[in-house]
Amino acid sequence: MKTTDYSNIANKYDNNQYRIDEIRQDYDLKKYIDNNCKNEYHILDLSCGTGLYLEKQMKYFEGLNINWNALDASKEMLDMADKRLDKVTLIEAFAEEMPCHSETFDFISNNYAFHHYSLKEQALNEIYRVLIKGGVYKLHNITIHDMPKWWVYHYFPSAYYEDLKRYWNKDIIFNELAMRGFEVNLKVEYRMEKIKVADYLNHALNRDISVLTLINDRDYEEGLERIRYDLKINENKTILNDFAEMFCIAKKI
């Protein structure tokens, strides 16, 4: 399985406005806090990237006694997060080997990152270990098996085959969590729509979508040419696009 070198894209990662706009208050975190009255909470953003998720959550939950933590394997991404976040414990480490005491965290958020882990079973073992009993692990990711018509795969077909090597399907994720002693609630939100190709050219050019860094340069350039050709023929060209997101809540019991 190939892995994305985030040191090469850290400085342009936040150029994708979708990453910023799509983050809302984490109502699963709010539900946990509402249902578990404590003097202090310990929250971990696992594979935090540049800190976009935590930046917004810290504003939403301002006034609560929360110990915020952010872990990422990329020093360059953590450096970006450090510029954005204040009063957050930053941890440079892999999810498969977290330098954290057992039963430390109340809530672990894990957004768009699980597919990057080379040793997924070991990462889940670590997540279970560092969660307190009754703590919650929230896994949020795309489900590539449910979205074969995604615009990325339409123009860069080799990307789909790279992603098949990286992503577990939802059944495997559910079963792997359940067998470790989690109470699992998993849902997938799906949508299909016509999109304007012109709106996605800059996303392709930025090449910050992880799978586009994994395909070879020839396949990448050919995909760009397909986009440009379609727009040359029809600047208002639309294609069918599907997108599926998984929200998995796993409670340690």
Residue 51 CB neighbour total at 10 angstroms: 24
What's the pTM value of the predicted model, to 2 decimals? Answer: 0.93
| Alpha carbon distance 227, 222 (integer Å) | 9
Please, which pLDDT band fits residue 144 given cuts at 50, 70 and 90?
very high
pLDDT, tens digit (0-9, with 9 covering 90-100), for 207-222: 989 999 999 999 999 9
Q: What is the pLDDT of residue 4?
A: 76
pLDDT, tens digit (0-9, with 9 covering 90-100), for 58-73: 999 999 999 999 999 9
Q: What is the pLDDT of residue 18?
A: 56
Pick among 3.40.50.150, 3.30.420.10, 3.30.360.10, 3.40.718.10: CATH of 6-252: 3.40.50.150
pLDDT at 167 over 90: yes
For the chain, domain boundaries: 6-252
pLDDT at 245 over 80: yes
Q: Between the CA of residue 162 and those of 165, 213, 226, 239, what are the distances in Å? A: 5, 10, 19, 22
